[in-house]
Amino acid sequence: MPIHLTTLTRRRFLQITGTSVLLCGSRTSNAETTDVESDLVYLLNDTHIGEKHPEDSAVPSHLRQVVTKLVNSPNKPACVLINGDLALKDGQAGDYQHFAKIIRPLQDSHIETHLTLGNHDNREAFYEVLKEQRPTDPPIESRHIAVVETKHANFFLLDSLQKTMVTQGTIGGQQLKWLASALDRFQTKPAIIVAHHNPRLGGDPLHFPGGLIDSRELWKVISSRKWVKAYIHGHIHDRTYAQHEGIHILNTPATSYVADAMKSTTGWTTAKLTASGVTLTTHTSDSEHPWNGETKTLTWRSA
């Protein structure tokens, strides 16, 4: 049975030359009194939520922990971005039904939530369950993409899902063309690119084989546009910081599990934005982990 998340329909969609613009932090009810920090964005990725069966309790639960912490916070973020691999393995409808139930408290708290897709997701099943995620007039029919506007930056949400259960990702020529046009339409604020897969540029070459096949083509589009300041990804289930041609490459921790517990841990990230940069704070599922509460402040490259 489809899950309808009405929070997603509260966003104002504007169609500007084929660009879906999602305006974060807007509130529609005068009765809502919760303070919204317009410069704060929550970053999550790799939630890997599976359908919950009565006989199987081994469903990743960190997402529920994060959602609980968020909704209980006295101040709410401008929005929450959950960056791909929403589903456990191969994007079954039951995965998205369970995922929708876990994030429902965000809806109840009127917190804007935006989703991207990763290699463990399935677009058709995703849209069947989370129907309000499908724009009525999508910029590209075969990709789940949008622009999310916040106070200090515009987030360009890309779809790097090449094919379900294929590790490598791709942006593709049609999406690159859309991105170039969208970036040129929004030059007044720093631009931050968000996609599930890591680029095969900067960072650790160990992870390049599983990253974006067309990384260089993407960088041709974004590196010459000096208002593009950062690229945020997941996929690796680790936390790293890198740069390529002045663009920060931010690999945020997975919410669900890690590949190597000796090197990394699970968690989520808060981004406190200014006009000139961002302060990232790591929040770990294990409150005793050394990364918990660590901050890193990054300055944007000059225009």
Delimit the domains of the chain by residue range.
6-299
Residues 78 and 40: their CA atoms lie apart, in Å, by 6
pLDDT along the chain (303 residues), means of 10: 37 43 48 75 96 58 91 92 97 96 94 97 97 88 94 98 98 98 97 98 95 98 98 97 98 94 95 98 96 98 93
Tell me which CATH code domain 6-299 carries: 3.60.21.10
**Do 158 and 193 form a contact (C-beta atoms < 8 A)?**
yes
Q: Report the C-alpha gap between 268 and 282 in whole angstroms.
A: 6
* C-alpha span between 293 and 303 (Å, rounded): 31
Separation of alpha carbons 47 and 86, rounded Å? 5
User: What pLDDT does 19 receive?
Assistant: 55
DSSP string, 79-96: EEEEES--BSSS--HHHH
Between the alpha carbon of residue 296 and those of residues 73, 121, 279, 282, the distances in Å are 22, 30, 6, 9
**Residues facing residue 277 across a β-bridge:** 299
pLDDT at residue number 39: 97
Q: How far is CA 47 from CA 36, 59, 249, 256, 258, in A?
A: 24, 10, 20, 5, 11
Q: What is the pLDDT of residue 219?
A: 98
